[in-house]
Each structure stands twice: as structure tokens, then as C-alpha cells.
């Protein structure tokens, strides 16, 4: 069945560091892919998405490119801020529902 | 309403008791989802409603779990005879249609602790 695998966390970085959070998926066909973010005390919210191969989703300085060759959708940001501290979830659109990865907790130190 | 509202935000109960968790989706959203977030387990799908019917309830972990939705709006997730392994954050989300084609809006969750 459909599944999403994210890099193990937690991840701790210093402010202005480069961020990569790896995400790979297993699915039939080419599903839409998503990154959701959960800030402390808040509900999950959509960060970015890509609906087809080679699409790049971007928002708030974050980017992710849909790579069908490697079945990946890695999240990147060139210079992280303390306010980026949150839990990040990669997801794919399965049959009638989103299938999520296990989440990666990111902490940015000033 | 403006967002997805869940209640209670926190619930502590004793093993063996029943609990009810409520979700108020965004007005007009036909699709409603329940997920469970356990420490280290990510987001586990429980059940999906389209209107008042549940085309996919494959994620409900056991027959102690049930959910209903009335009037195409409010949904209640009921856990009977709670066990310690039921401790988790239960998340509700809604969307205009099926997830994937439509963005899911999540509530802040109901944190359940079973002693």
C-alpha cells in the first residue's frame, strides 16, 4: 500500500543554517505530494504541495521538488530561523485520504 | 466557523472508561477526517466521512472505536473501555472534497491521556 518515509528526527540546527528533511514515498501512480507543518500548540497546516512530477512547491522560503525517478519530495530551506521550529510532516494523496510520514521535529537555536 | 474546532482540548480518563471527542468542521466542508498522533508514530488515519457516510473506516484500530457524523457537520469519535495505548492526540480535519484534490484544514487536536 501507499506509504511515506521521513528522515528520523529530531533535527537541531543553528539559525541561518541550511535545512534538508528527506522524504521518500511508495505509491501506485503519481500522487500529489505535500508538506504540512505543526507549530507548537497549533494544528497542522499546509506548507507546500506539488501535484505532478518535476513540480516544485514553495512557501515561506521552503521548497520541495517532486522527483518521480527517486520517488522523493525532500524539503529544503536555505537559511532557517528560530520561528521555523516545528514538526514537519510529508504526505501523499492516497485513495480518498492523505497518508503521512512519521514527522520530523525541527529545533532552531539562536 | 472560521476553523476546525475540537473539544475537549485535553482529556484525562481512567482505564476502562468511555470517552467522546467532538469535531466541528469548517462550514460547507463535505469531507471530514480523523487521525491519531502518537509519540513517534506519526499521523495514523482512522476514518473518513463524506457527508454523513463513512466510505473508509479502515483505520479504526478495534471495535472499541466508533465515529459518527450528523447533519453533514459535527462528528463524534467514541472510544469505549479505554486502554493506556489509546493515549494520543486525536486530530480532526475537513475539506471541501476528498483530500489530495482539496487542502485539509486541521483542528488543534484533543489530547487523550488514559491512566
List, for residues B14-44, the tens digit of each pLDDT value: 999 999 999 999 999 999 999 999 876 789 9
3-state secondary structure of A4: strand
The DSSP output letter for A40 is T
Neighbouring C-beta atoms of residue B96, cutoff 10 Å? 13
Distances (CA, A) of B46 to A92, B10, B17, B42, B82: 16, 19, 20, 13, 16
pLDDT of B98 reads: 73
pLDDT of B19 reads: 98
Per the prediction, chain B carries an average pLDDT of: 92
C-alpha to C-alpha distance for A70 and B25, rounded to whole angstroms: 37
Would you tell me which residues 6-65 of chain B have a C-beta closer than 8 angstroms to some C-beta of chain A? 33, 35, 37, 40-43, 45, 48, 55-56
pLDDT of A106 reads: 96
Half-sphere exposure of B64 (CA within 13 A, CB side): 13
A29, A42, A44, A86: which to substitute to probe chain B, counting the most B Cβ within 10 Å?
A: A44
Closest CA to B65 of B90, B98, B94, B40: B90
pLDDT of A19 reads: 97
Nearest CA in chain A to B42: A102
Per the prediction, chain A carries an average pLDDT of: 94
Nearest CA in chain A to B38: A102
Sign of the Cα torsion A44, B43, B100, A31 reads positive
Q: Are A73 and A25 in contact (CB under 8 A)?
A: yes
Q: In which region does residue B28 sit, left (phi positive, over 0), alpha (psi from -120 to 50) or beta (all else)?
A: left
Contact A43 B101 (CB under 8 A): no
A9 pLDDT above the threshold of 90: no
Contact B42 A44 (CB under 8 A): no
**Cis check: omega of the bond before B2, within 30 degrees of 0:** no
pLDDT of A7 reads: 82
Q: Facing residues of B5 across strands?
A: B24
Distances (CA, A) of A18 to A55, A75, A78, B50, B72: 21, 11, 5, 41, 45
Per-residue buried b or exposed e for A66-87, using 16+ beta carbons within 10 Å of the residue's own CB: beeeebbbbbebeebeeebbbb
B1 pLDDT above the threshold of 60: no
Mean pLDDT across A15-41: 94
Amino acid at each position: 500500500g501507499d506509504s511515506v518515509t521521513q528522515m528520523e528526527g529530531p533535527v537541531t540546527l543553528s539559525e541561518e543554517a541550511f535545512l534538508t528533511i528527506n522524504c521518500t514515498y511508495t505509491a501506485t501512480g503519481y500522487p500529489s505530494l505535500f508538506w504540512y507543518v505543526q507549530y507548537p500548540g497549533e494544528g497542522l497546516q499546509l506548507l507546500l504541495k506539488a501535484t505532478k512530477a518535476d513540480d516544485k512547491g514553495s512557501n515561506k522560503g521552503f521548497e520541495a521538488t517532486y522527483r518521480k525517478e527517486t520517488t522523493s519530495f525532500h524539503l529544503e530551506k536555505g537559511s532557517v530561523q528560530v520561528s521555523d521550529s516545528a514538526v514537519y510532516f510529508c504526505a501523499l494523496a492516497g485513495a480518498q485520504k492523505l497518508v503521512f510520514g512519521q514527522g520530523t521535529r525541527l529545533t532552531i537555536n539562536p | 466557523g472560521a476553523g476546525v474546532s475540537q473539544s475537549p482540548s485535553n482529556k484525562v480518563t481512567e482505564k476502562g472508561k468511555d470517552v467522546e471527542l467532538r469535531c466541528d468542521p469548517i462550514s460547507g466542508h463535505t469531507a471530514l477526517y480523523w487521525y491519531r498522533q502518537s509519540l513517534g508514530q506519526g499521523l495514523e488515519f482512522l476514518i473518513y466521512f463524506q457527508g454523513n457516510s463513512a466510505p473508509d473506516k479502515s483505520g479504526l484500530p478495534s471495535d472499541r472505536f466508533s465515529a459518527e457524523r450528523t447533519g453533514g457537520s459535527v462528528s463524534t469519535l467514541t472510544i469505549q473501555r479505554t486502554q493506556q495505548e489509546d493515549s494520543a492526540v486525536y486530530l480532526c480535519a475537513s475539506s471541501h472534497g476528498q483530500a489530495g484534490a482539496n487542502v485539509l484544514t486541521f483542528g488543534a487536536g484533543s489530547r487523550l491521556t488514559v491512566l
